[in-house]
Chain A
Amino acid sequence: AQSVAQPEDQVNVAEGNPLTVKCTYSVSGNPYLFWYVQYPNRGLQFLLKYITGDNLVKGSYGFEAEFNKSQTSFHLKKPSALVSDSALYFCAVRDDYGQNFVFGPGTRLSVLP
């Protein structure tokens, strides 16, 4: 069975500083990994995904994520945080056979001015 862990409920970072939101996963077979962001009273917005190939994936709004197979991690990063990045972030995984996402519990990011 697939599972996703996001070990931090809350991450606080000062504007202009780099941010990292952590994600680890468990899946049999090849992992297909995704990051989504949710703003208040909104649906989820796709940020980026890892399918295969380069371990560093670049996505929307300056976000990137690093896939590490040995550590089964897929951490989300941004070099310089903006106040507008404050939101709820979800990591999700599918396996080779999965039709549905398995989501992590979410991490609330607060970027302080």
Chain B
Amino acid sequence: KAGVTQTPRYLIKTRGQQVTLSCSPISGHRSVSWYQQTPGQGLQFLFEYFSETQRNKGNFPGRFSGRQFSNSRSEMNVSTLELGDSALYLCASSLVGTPEREAFFGQGTRLTVV
């Protein structure tokens, strides 16, 4: 069974540009969450989608957005990139959307903003 797939693995962008990251969850999983990981702030929750609906959003500016498609694949978009957006972006998928579920993480997309 294939795991969570994130593409691309690495990205280098310039300040002011926008970027789209992609996540394909494990087959059958309907919940997809996104996290930002930085050395200073650790792992921070961005948003969660379940059956194409955003159920929860973290404390990030509106430049960060996401969506989920009918096949559960998800994308996140960051507009007007800032140097501080450089981070490892992790996607996680779960079979169901209940609190006791474990999540399975992809290898992440490392975004560098220059």
Chain A contacts to B: CB under 8 angstroms: 32, 34, 36, 41-46, 49, 51, 90, 94-106
Contact = CB atoms under 8 A, between A and B. Distances in A.
Contacts, number: 58
Contacts of A43: 4, 6, 90, 105-108
A39 to B, nearest CB: 10
Given A32-B99, A94-B99, A96-B99, A101 B104 contact: no
A32 B42 contact: no
Nearest to B56: A99
A49 B99 contact: no
A93 to B, nearest CB: 10
Interface in B80-112: 90, 92, 97, 99-100, 102-108, 110
Contacts of B97: 99
A99 B55 contact: yes
Interface of B: 4, 6, 31, 33, 35, 42-43, 45, 48, 50, 55-56, 58, 90, 92, 97, 99-100, 102-108, 110
Contact of B99 (A41, A90, A98, A103): A98
Contacts of A32: 99-100
A80 B105 CA distance: 27
11 contacts: A44-B90, A44-B105, A90-B43, A99-B48, A99-B55, A99-B56, A99-B97, A100-B48, A100-B56, A101-B35, A103-B43
A102 B31 CA distance: 17
Contacts of B103: 46, 101
A103 to B, nearest CB: 4
Given A43-B4, A43-B108, A99-B31, 10 more contacts: A32-B99, A32-B100, A44-B90, A44-B92, A95-B99, A97-B99, A99-B55, A99-B99, A100-B45, A103-B35
